[in-house]
Amino acid sequence: MSRIPRDRSFDSTLALLLDPYGFISKRCRRYGADLFQTRLLLRPTICMTGPEAAELFYRQDLFARSGAAPGRVQKTLFGQGGVQGLDGEAHRHRKQMFMSLMTPERIEALKELTAEWWRTYAQKWTTMDRVILYDEVQELLTRAVCAWVGVPLPEAEAGRRAAELTALFDYAGSVGPKHWWSRLSRRRCESWIEGIVEQIRAGDLSPPEGSAARVIATWRDQDGALLSPRIAAVELLNILRPTVAVAVFIVFAAHALHGFPACRPKLQTGDEYPELFVQEIRRLYPFFPAVMARTRHNFEWNGYRFPRGRRVMLDLYGTNRDARAWDAPEEFRPDRFRSWDGSPFNFIPQGGGDHHMNHRCPGEWMTIELMKLSCRFLAASIEYDLPDQDLRIDITRLPAIPKSRFVMSNLRYAI
Ligand code: HEM
């Protein structure tokens, strides 16, 4: 049996914060292995990369999620008591609630709402000197997704709610004041949505049949009981927050359109190229660096011993760029997806395995469709200039975004 390589430093939390995307794969290369062991926030943690490690990580007989995510992530990004921390039957049952919302018809409805808001915002942008795309798209998506899930959003509140939903993901990886702003935003968002759930249950608010607000407010857990208003709020926020976070990928799409202008005309017609383009953005651009679980019991894998109760972190970013699965992995080549094998373990920007059974993101199709729609709009419906700005992607921040947040000027839009 081989010993899992051990990182040299006593605790690697700082190294992870300084290089959240490269942390695992660089060390794996250094140790010549797909895994190594270290301490994160003083807790022993095995870090793994690559498709084979991903296949292992999604085995539910070996790994559990409850108790795996650090408290600071739960108090900002996820919330407490949501689907991310459930295991086994409880997870599958709750996951069904999310999956039931992802029908083609429901996704089409979200696309229509979002397209409408793109048009409205584009008109507004023609009157502005400078448009900061990242900020604008957060607000645009907040409006679209609130309408889609059936949560009323009074005009006077739209900016504030967009900022609060954004703080849940945009500052979740920060330390200091931004982290505390993220925690405060979580409390505000949960109170807001808890109030909505209570109004629905009292019959004072009646979101459409099939909308997420109605489905979640009336969902019964395995024991037949309604979710507590707080947990229902956490789950509804599990739809609102990440949909607003698609703004990160949309900014990356704008970044790629600028960096690879030959893609622009190909995005203007048909459905095939936008899909390839969007997949390559999800593969190559940095978003969610890793996911965490803990081992259920002692076991062996490839000659390595995994002890029971050990925290394990799977490298999503590095796995998407693993040279064993991808030719020239660092290059932006949308056409590579014409011959992708469809493996659930080598392309995992939103998690791997099975959507129903594993923790893989239920919003993956929504994300792809929103990105396709937005890429087309950016490529075909508007024209703009890029003033001087720093477009380098800040990969020390979570999520990484271009330093300038993507500024556009002199925007032209013909209705
Ligand atoms: C889970 C990424 C968009 C809802 C996840 C996971 C990742 C992820 C990495 C964890 C996978 C795992 O633990 O194995 C992303 C990214 C998105 C995105 C990068 C782009 C913005 C969405 C959208 C929704 C959504 C639009 C709306 C429905 C969820 C939920 C889970 C999840 C509810 C937890 C699933 C579970 O624990 O079973 N996502 N996601 N995500 N995502 Fe997304």
pTM above 0.95, yes or no: yes
Q: What percent of the chain has pLDDT over 90?
A: 91
Which ligand 1 atom sits nearest the alpha carbon of residue 57? 14
**How buried is residue 248: exposed, middle or buried, by Cβ count under 10 Å (0-12/13-18/19+)?**
buried
Q: Give the number of the atom of ligand 1 that is nearest the alpha carbon of residue 282.
A: 19
Output 179 or 235, whichever has higher pLDDT.
Answer: 235
Q: Give the pLDDT of residue 260.
A: 98
**Rounded distance from Cα 272 to ligand 1 centre (Å):** 24
Is ipTM over 0.85? yes
Least confident interval from 1-10, 129-138, 251-260, 336-345: 1-10
Q: Spell out the domains of the chain, with CATH numbers in brackets.
A: 12-413 (1.10.630.10)
Place of tokens 């392309």: 347
Minimum CA distance residue for ligand 1 atom 39: 361
The residue to mutate among 357, 361, 368, 370, having the most atoms of ligand 1 within 8 angstroms of its beta carbon, is 361
The pLDDT, as a whole number, for residue 75 is 85
Q: How confident is the model at residue 226 (pLDDT cuts 50, 70, 90)?
A: very high
Tell the residue nearest (CA) to atom 1 of ligand 1: 361
Cα–Cα distance, 365 to 393 (Å, whole number): 25
3-class SS shares of the chain: helix, strand, coil, % to 5: 50, 15, 35
Ligand 1 atom closest to 86 (CA): 37
- Angle, vertex CA 403, rays to CA 399 and CA 404, nearest 5: 125
Residues contacting 180, CB < 8 A, separation 6+: none
Phi, psi angles (nearest 5°) of residue 407: -100, 135
Q: pLDDT tens across 98-150, in order?
A: 999 999 999 999 999 999 999 999 999 999 999 999 999 999 999 999 999 99
The residue whose CA has the least distance to atom 42 of ligand 1 is 361
Give me ligand 1 centre to Cα 296, in Å: 23
Cα separation of the two ends of the chain: 67
Best CA proximity match to 76, nearest among 210, 187, 190, 182:
182
- In the predicted structure, residue 245 carries a pLDDT above the cut 80: yes
Question: 295 alpha carbon to ligand 1 midpoint, in Å?
Answer: 21
The CB of 348 under 6 Å from ligand 1? The reply is no
**Residue 361 is labelled as binding a ligand:** yes
